[in-house]
Amino acid sequence: MADTILILGNGFDLAMKRKTSYEHFVEFANNLLPITDIQLKKFIDENNINIEKYEYNYYLRFINENRSTLGKNWCNLENMISQLAEAIDYFKLNADILYREDKNSLKVPHVDLLEGSIVSQENFASKLFIAKIFYELFYFLEWDKLERRVAISELNEKFIFHLELLTDLLEIYLSYRDYVDFEVNKIAPVETALNAIENISESSVISFNYTHTPNKLYNISFEKTHFIHGEIDLSRSKSEINTMVFGIEDKENNVNSDLIPYQKYYQRVVKETGNLYEKFFISTKLSEWGAAVSKNIIVFGHSVDPLDKEIFEKCFEIAYEKKYNYRFIFTYHTESAKRSIIKNLAIILGKDKLVELTGNKNVVFVKSDDVDGMREVLLD
């Protein structure tokens, strides 16, 4: 029987009817204080969480000020973080925009004073927001006494700190959802295309998800699960720090040191999430005839956004190099989602390579609720 590798994104939790979407998180964050839910208060108290420090977060403020233009998926939140980080970098290179040329003092934070400088530029909303925060902090923190370059660096440090707070708040929310779903409500698996997989508990899992859903619902061992972007662990039983990676696309060329803390590869190094997932592809069992068994690599609940390009490239590379029979099975919820996955794969692999892989049936697509369709494409 073929080996199974599950690559799970945040959509996996949603398929299991869990309230772990981007919108659920934002709603939770916006209605956090005062705490009126008795169950939530009990959870906060039992875990000794100081919830007040998460109330005024720059990223949540940006989300709330731009809800009409932001998307509703986790990748949209990561794109927002990327735009804000790059806006800070823009002002580092163009600090004069924030200052009067005659007195080295600040302009009043109004859109009309920025016209001709950034209003017609890409990501204008992000740049305007960064300028607003800069204006708010400038005299309060006495940045008027600093060199312009140093003041912008101080602003960057503030946003890095608020990203850490946002990540901590996300850990609190997802840990609370685990508590409610598994300890209080004791939810059961929902039928999906994954029901076609025999002995799913023996699968290896590459999880882009921070929660323990596959382990709780399918009894998949933690030893065979790589939380590639870290995992929730309020008790800090496995690490002294929050290991959750929550950042932006890796910049391979012209790396800017100010942007590095926002980038996923840097966070994965600092938080030591490792590369265990590579071993799932490298290790192979042998059949009774001495040949390497096939591998079904099932991608479920992941948009295959290029934000995770590096990981998917590595998975395809190892599978190809090891010469065993393999098949990547990408599941999708709607036809629109399928088209988006195909577009993202073309960006990651290149159009010609994607055509080759689909032609050879190394890459196939199955609707996420199509159990029979999944059975048909699984390699034996």
pLDDT digits (tens, 9 = 90+) for 37-63: 899 999 999 999 999 999 899 999 999
For residues 278-304, give the mean pLDDT. 84
CATH of the domain at 330: 3.40.50
Q: Are residues 207 and 157 in the same domain?
A: no
pLDDT at 348: 95
Q: Are residues 26 and 149 in the same domain?
A: yes
Report residue 253's pLDDT band, with 50, 70 and 90 as the boundaries.
low
Q: Are residues 143 and 208 in the same domain?
A: no
228, 264 Cβ separation under 8 angstroms? no
pLDDT at 101: 52
Query: Looking at the domain assignment, is residue 93 inside a domain?
Result: yes
Q: Is 93 helix (H, G, I), strand (E, B) or coil?
A: helix
Q: Are residues 141 and 202 in the same domain?
A: no
Strands 225-227 and 3-8: unpaired
Asked whether the predicted pLDDT for residue 279 surpasses 80, the reply is: yes
For residues 112-131, give the mean pLDDT. 73
For residues 296-318, give the mean pLDDT. 92
Query: Looking at the domain assignment, is residue 239 inside a domain?
Result: no
CA dihedral 104, 108, 110, 116 (to 10 degrees): -20
Domain boundary among the residues 150, 165, 180 is at 165
Query: Looking at the domain assignment, is residue 181 inside a domain?
Result: no
Query: Looking at the domain assignment, is residue 172 inside a domain?
Result: no
Question: What is the distance in angstroms between the CA of the first residue and the CA of the last residue of the chain?
Answer: 5
> 326: domain range?
3-17+190-228+274-377
For residues 79-98, give the mean pLDDT. 86
Query: Looking at the domain assignment, is residue 366 inside a domain?
Result: yes
Mean pLDDT, all residues of the chain: 87
131, 98 Cβ separation under 8 angstroms? yes
C-alpha to C-alpha distances, 298 to 7, 31, 274, nearest whole angstrom: 6, 36, 21
pLDDT at 94: 84
Q: Are residues 307 and 372 in the same domain?
A: yes
Asked whether the predicted pLDDT for residue 264 surpasses 90, the reply is: no
Tokens 């006495």 -> residue:
142
Report residue 306's pLDDT band, with 50, 70 and 90 as the boundaries.
confident
Asked whether the predicted pLDDT for residue 112 surpasses 60, the reply is: no
Angle at 352 between CA 297 and CA 208, to 5 degrees: 30
Q: Are residues 92 and 108 in the same domain?
A: yes
Query: Looking at the domain assignment, is residue 254 inside a domain?
Result: no
Q: Are residues 315 and 294 in the same domain?
A: yes
Q: Which residues contact 362 (CB under 8 A, 6 or more apart)?
A: 319, 326, 327, 328
Query: Looking at the domain assignment, is residue 60 inside a domain?
Result: yes
Q: Are residues 81 and 204 in the same domain?
A: no
Asked whether the predicted pLDDT for residue 109 surpasses 50, the reply is: no
DSSP letter (8 states) at residue 98: G
Asked whether the predicted pLDDT for residue 103 surpasses 80, the reply is: no
Domain boundary among the residues 125, 150, 165 is at 165
Largest CA distance in the chain: 82
- Our count of domains for the chain comes to 2
Query: Looking at the domain assignment, is residue 293 inside a domain?
Result: yes
Domain boundary among the residues 124, 148, 165 is at 165
Asked whether the predicted pLDDT for residue 122 surpasses 90, the reply is: no
pLDDT digits (tens, 9 = 90+) for 158-212: 999 999 999 999 999 999 999 999 999 999 999 999 999 999 999 999 999 999 9
pLDDT digits (tens, 9 = 90+) for 66-81: 888 887 777 778 788 8
Q: How far is CA 90 from the centre of its chain?
A: 24
Q: Are residues 204 and 114 in the same domain?
A: no
The two three-digit tokens of residue 30, written as one number:
């916006």
Asked whether the predicted pLDDT for residue 293 surpasses 50, the reply is: yes
Asked whether the predicted pLDDT for residue 259 surpasses 60, the reply is: yes
Instruction: Give φ, ψ of 366 to 5 degrees.
Output: -140, 140
pLDDT digits (tens, 9 = 90+) for 7-27: 999 899 999 999 998 899 999
The two three-digit tokens of residue 177, written as one number:
């959802």
Q: Are residues 138 and 202 in the same domain?
A: no
Report residue 281's pLDDT band, with 50, 70 and 90 as the boundaries.
very high
205, 6 Cβ separation under 8 angstroms? yes
The span from the CA of 218 to the CA of 287, in Å, is: 26
For residues 234-258, give the mean pLDDT. 73
DSSP letter (8 states) at residue 99: B
Q: Are residues 29 and 82 in the same domain?
A: yes
Q: Are residues 204 and 342 in the same domain?
A: yes
Asked whether the predicted pLDDT for residue 148 surpasses 60, the reply is: yes
